[in-house]
Each structure stands twice: as C-alpha cells, then as structure tokens.
Structure 1
C-alpha cells in the first residue's frame, strides 16, 4: 500500500501526567471499555510511552550495567541454544550418544551458568517488564480527552499511520469503528 508511517507527537507533561491529566480506576467489570481506553491511550501517548520505556531501561542499565549486559547475553545464548537444538535435533541426539561424559559436563556447566546468570537475567527482564508495567498502568488509568478521541479516529481511518498503530495491528488489536 505504501502508506507513510508518521511518528506521533510528544505530548506535553501537563497532558501526560500533570495539570490537565485526569485519572480514574477503570471499571474492570466492563473489559471492553477498559481495553478500548488502553488501546486508545497507547495510540495517543505512544511517543511518551516509548520515551518512558527507554528512560527506565537506560536508568536500570546505568544502575546495573554489568548485570544488564550479562542478562542480555544470557537470554541471547539461551534463545540461540534453543533455536539450534530444536533445528538440529538429530545432531544433538547423536552428540549425546557419542559423547556422554562431555554432554553431562555441558549440562552441568550450563546449569551453573544459568544459576550464576539468574540475577543478571532478572535485572535485564526487570528493565523490560517495569517500563511495560508503567505504560499499562498509565494507559489503564488515564481518562481520554476530546483531543485523544479525535487523534485516534484519524489513526483508525488511515489518515495517519504510526509505530504504535502498526504494533497493535500486528498484535491483532485493531481499533473498531466508533470506539
């Protein structure tokens, strides 16, 4: 289609969390209305959310730089090992059969490494999960303004494509007409 992606504007601090911001606990009994509020806030405040996540991730990285790097490496190695083992099952089985002692040593070493790296993995995951928690909390509690509703209508009808709109669409969370 060739639609141009536009970065949404950074909303003012007053609109985001200070003066004009209105917060209310959502009605958890009306899950559709709550989800609608979250999706619309994710679209409207997306640049603020991306910036918040980056700042929190960097702060945790500054406080625990070695653990963040080790946590990232541990997760990358675990993911790579998983992909390799699942794609080469016959080679893995043959290696275990042909080299039982080496296999046991690799398993014990990997277990020790996992236990040793667990602290670093927890810090790394906290660096990712904590910003997401903050974003979901804000999107759930922030009541929508008239400007928010108009901006989201433009996103829905395709007059404007933004990174968060593309992410939500990829997750199957398209906005419904009239929401």
Structure 2
C-alpha cells in the first residue's frame, strides 16, 4: 500500500464547465462505452469521491433522523446476517427446537423493518443518488489525452490508485488494461 497514489483534484473547469466536453456514449458498442466510463472513473476519482460525500451529506441533512435510522438499520441487518451465517449449526438447531419462537421473531423483524422502511429508503437514496450521478458523468464526459495517459499508467502498474484497486477487485481489470 506504500505505492498507493491519490490523484489530484481536477479543476471544476475540467470536470464540469468550460473545457469539459460531453456527448452521448456509444450505446451500441458496449466495450467503447465501458472504456470511457473506466477512463473517467480513474481520471476523476478524487472529484467523484468528493461529489459522493457531498451528495450523501446533502441527502442526510435534508432528513437526518431518517438517514441515521436507515444507517443504524443497515448495520443491524448486516450484524444479524454475519451472526447467522457464521453460526449455521446453532441457528438450525434453534429453529428445530423452537419453531414458534422463530415464527414470532420473523414477525417482529418484519414489523420493525416496515417501521423503519422510510429511513432505509432515505439511506439507500443517499447511496444510490451519488452513484447514479457518477455513472452518468463518467458515461457522458468525453475522454481527453490526460485521461487516456492516466489509464495507461494505471494499467502498466506504474501508478496505483484507490479506484484502480477497486476496479481490479470488481473484476474489471481487463477493461481497465485495454
């Protein structure tokens, strides 16, 4: 992780305003579209990270109680999932020996999920909106020479960035290297 490099913040002019060029992506050529998106994700990753944080905070400040409730609910759901998957034998034994208690617990969980459903929607909106904005920008923003050079440096392994590592972990390294 010592060779990890965080790219510099691109100017607003380059990111959105005067020098930015936008066009519709080549929808009929998915590999070209994917290359454009990956190039832009690698080149503008710092801008995208700040955009995602800013939009998440804006959504959170519009309804902070629901955002906090949604976040807490997701943490609890994740904890329950981890606990039940790591203790399958115990859970199976408990379900067999106490079927009525399990049925009541399922009903209680459904009731609680319905109760906090609005908070879950606000939290998911706070995550989905920035991701959608990033994808739309990365799809519409045309690549420039700096953008293409940054991708080549990343694919040759001369420069490692957080987005490059994330794309590699998602299995998109072939598109990132082409």
Q: How far apart, in 2, do the equivalents of 1:156 and 1:106 lie?
A: 50
Match of 1:176 in 2: 177
Cα drift, residue 3 of structure 1: 5.3
Match of 1:116 in 2: 115
Q: How far apart, in 1, do the equivalents of 2:148 and 2:90 lie?
A: 56
8 Å CA contact retained: 1:3, 1:161: no
8 Å CA contact retained: 1:43, 1:164: yes
Match of 2:136 in 1: 137
Secondary structure of the 2:159 match is coil
Q: Kindly report which structure 2 residues correspond to 1:11-160, keeping only aligned pairs within 5 A, or say none.
A: 11-160=10-159
- Superposition CA RMSD, Å: 1.6
1:111-133 CA-partner distances (Å, limit 9, x unpaired): 11011111111111111111000
Cα drift, residue 95 of structure 1: 2.4
The alignment's TM-score, normalised by the length of structure 2, stands at 0.92
Q: Which runs of 5+ in 2 are unaligned?
A: none
Cα drift, residue 97 of structure 1: 3.8
> Which stretches of structure 1, 4 residues or more, deviate above 4 A after TM superposition?
none
Q: How far apart, in 2, do the equivalents of 1:163 and 1:7 lie?
A: 7
Cα drift, residue 146 of structure 1: 1.4
1:11-48 CA-partner distances (Å, limit 9, x unpaired): 00010010000000011110010000000000000000
8 Å CA contact retained: 1:41, 1:139: yes
Cα drift, residue 104 of structure 1: 2.9
Q: How far apart, in 2, do the equivalents of 1:28 and 1:99 lie?
A: 54
Cα drift, residue 148 of structure 1: 1.3
Secondary structure of the 1:143 match is coil
8 Å CA contact retained: 2:40, 2:138: yes
Secondary structure of the 2:116 match is helix
Secondary structure of the 1:124 match is helix
Q: How far apart, in 2, do the equivalents of 1:121 and 1:82 lie?
A: 17
The alignment's TM-score, normalised by the length of structure 1, stands at 0.91
Secondary structure of the 1:161 match is coil
8 Å CA contact retained: 2:3, 2:160: yes
Q: How far apart, in 1, do the equivalents of 2:143 and 2:94 lie?
A: 59
